[in-house]
Amino acid sequence: MELDIIKRTWAEVDLCALEENFKAIRAHIGKDTKLCCVVKADGYGHGAVEVAKLYSCLGADFFAVSNIDEALELREHGIKEPVLILGYTPVALALTLAENNITQAVYGLDYAKGLSEAAQIAGVELDVHIKVDTGMSRIGFMCQSFPEDNASIDEIVKACSLPHLNTRGIMAHFAVSDEGEEGKEYTLRQLRAFEHTVQALAQRGISFEVVHHANSGAVEYYKDSYMSLVRAGIILYGLTPNPSLPSEIKLRPALTLKTTVAFVKKLRKGSTVSYGRTFEAKEDMVVATVPIGYADGYFRSLSDKGYMTVKGQKARILGRVCMDQTVIDVTDIEDVKIGDEVVVFSNGENNTPTANELAALTDTINYEIVCAVSKRVPRVYLKNGEIVDVMYKL
């Protein structure tokens, strides 16, 4: 497959790395624990459809997404496994949920009632998972502390008894499972609250097919939290939720962002670069302009920070990152010319920056770096170094 037609700025997704990560996670959690692959935010920037197809072939048990649009995209592209929406769906879309066999998280009694009524009007049955709040304080039936939150048990019982709702599962989310010893006490507190909730409901005659609390951090560091299913997110893509901690699983980053040298010029001493003239040349230089900017997902906060690599050598960022273009220093890199490949971030091999490095420079997390790669950047899928597919979102 020819790459030249898209060789402006593009993202390469290594399907072999994704497969290795999936298998490493599967081996780590054991054969008795189901694996839910979280593919929200377009598969953390990797392309939800392509990665879900791969995980489906590898034996994924479940998929999780943020919203109904993401769920429908999977269904439209042939994903048959259960798909769970983790966030809000308007109750008016109950029929759409049912027709597409999509499972909805239910996180409060009023929402459960609304969904039940909408399903009844549509004449359908909906599969739902009860979402409880054990310490995130985001969404969910309040189950952070007992006996203070005993009333929530009554509310969950009422939600589970509503017509047209099939309560297949119960779930919660950890807040600091990726923060090592600092987060251990709070994580175990959340786990105890969840276990208490499940046991209290069992005593009321309510049980669930699927029970899950473990996210990526817990998959790595809290085996006691696995229960019947774990939700693997960022680790599927070869990144750890906390790069400062040693990973318990051998992972390989799958996403490489690349661009191209669009222009090369000599810059005289005293010349300034880009908006705001934040960089001034202290000597004669050679600079290259590359067609990537914050509209492609390369943050403006990287202005005058960090580097890209050209021919395996570091080329620092000069001046402000623009919407569509960035200037880099190629003074010490021999014979740079238009069309040369530039690595924006990758897995750290051959001097390439990593998503973790860019995150550190911009005071964010690696999740945001990969998710930010915009839809106008084509995804090129590689297997054993060969292009097998190209996905455009424009």
Supply the residues annotated as catalytic. 40, 275
- Distance between CA 136 and CA 176 in Å, rounded? 9
Q: How many CA atoms lie within 13 A of 168 on its CB side?
A: 15
- Distance between CA 20 and CA 18 in Å, rounded? 5
Please name the amino acid found at residue 292: I
CA distances from 232 to 2, 23, 41, 69, 353 (A): 33, 12, 14, 20, 25
CA distances from 61 to 182, 222, 356 (A): 32, 20, 29
CA-CA-CA-CA torsion sign (337, 339, 345, 351): negative
Q: How many CA atoms lie within 13 A of 126 on its CB side?
A: 37
- Distance between CA 196 and CA 214 in Å, rounded? 16
Is the Cβ–Cβ distance between 140 and 107 less than 8 Å? Answer: yes
H/E element, 150: helix 150-160
Strand-pairing partners, residue 128, are 104, 167
